[in-house]
Chains A and B, each alone.
Chain A
Amino acid sequence: MKCKTANKKLTPYFNNELSVEQNKTIKNHLKNCESCYNLYSELKTTYDLIEKKETLKPNPFLYTRINQQLINIKNKENQSIFIPVYKKVLQTVLLSFVILIAVGGGIKLGSLSRIQQEKQLLVSQTTEFYFNDLGQEKIEVFLLNE
């Protein structure tokens, strides 16, 4: 048997999945071929280390660490819920306040200028009365009416 063929069957041989005859052939080959035997023993030694499991000791401070992290998560959640609501309320209140001031100021300014205009109109009417009358009515019509 060639080494290449034997190498291909090393895995099924290791897992006891070959027929009795094939098993015998590989076994004989491994007895006579040092390199194939070394390869097989490396596979066996390494793969069998799976049985050597590392068991970790529990950490006595784990619960404290978890608890602290849960508190941090809760605090973050509270902050993240409070901050947007607080910001939104503040933004709305400020915007409403600015709009109210703008509208109120506009109304106030508008009413001031109207009063001024009315006053000016009144003054102009009283001072221009005589001129207008004289200007619009002819002296003859005035005398006839008298």
Chain B
Amino acid sequence: MTEKELIKGILVANQTAFKILVDKYQPLVLNTCNSFLHNKNNAEDITQEVFIEVFLSIHKFEKNAKLSTWLYRISVNKSLNFIRDNKKRNIVRNIENFFSGEQNTEIQIADDNYQSSENTDNQDERIELLHKSINSLSKNQKTAFTLHKFENLSYKEISEVMNLSLSSVEGLIHRAKYNVQKKILKFYKKK
């Protein structure tokens, strides 16, 4: 089934067409969500939401657009919304813990307090530091950088997903790269 046939099928609520689409694009959506969330379970939940949105709003899909670009866009938006909502939940939990006198180590980490980890020789801890450095970037920098570095998308593809010019994407990735490196250096300087 071609991309157009799949879309036509989903427009008339054809279950077979939708199943083919889910099977074909699941790796793309799942890994994109995971690149932002760094958590398998959350990535699977958001992937589910992405495909539900695809099914419910397929009529909004522009015929001339690329399906993968649309899927990337929905995946990025859903993942960023999840991160935003998660931050809000953390703030509320932090306030609750403050009044109840409990301590929340998770939030301390979210506040870029890398001092809590003692041994960063471990690769997992290095990866955690890297993820936290990326998460501290602005929304646009994070999107462009993640799509480029983790999803290997070209600048042109990123500009289509983000609806930005090529030069803007270039600038965003350049600044994101510097900011991530600065964060890493700052952490090791403190040590």
Contact = CB atoms under 8 A, between A and B. Distances in A.
Interface residues of B, number: 36
A32 B61 CA distance: 59
Interface string B99-137: 000000000000000000000000100110110000000
- For chain B, what secondary structure do more than half of its interface residues adopt (helix, strand, loop), or is it mixed? helix
Interface string B20-51: 00110011001100110000100110011001
Contacts of B67: none
A7 B48 contact: no
B92 interface: no
Interface residues of A, number: 29
A53 B38 CA distance: 11
B8 interface: no
Contacts of A1: none
A69 B48 contact: yes
Contacts of A15: 177-178, 181
Contacts of A56: 27, 30-31, 34, 40, 43
B34 A65 contact: no
Contacts of B52: 66, 69-70, 73
Most buried by B among A15, A38, A52, A58: A58
Interface of B: 15, 18-19, 22-23, 26-27, 30-31, 34-35, 40, 43-44, 47-48, 51-52, 55-56, 123, 126-127, 129-130, 149-150, 177-178, 180-182, 184-185, 188-189
5 contacts: A7-B185, A39-B185, A43-B181, A63-B22, A66-B48
Given A53-B35, A62-B47, A73-B52, 15 more contacts: A7-B189, A11-B178, A15-B178, A39-B189, A42-B184, A42-B188, A45-B126, A50-B149, A55-B31, A56-B27, A59-B26, A62-B26, A63-B23, A70-B52, A73-B56
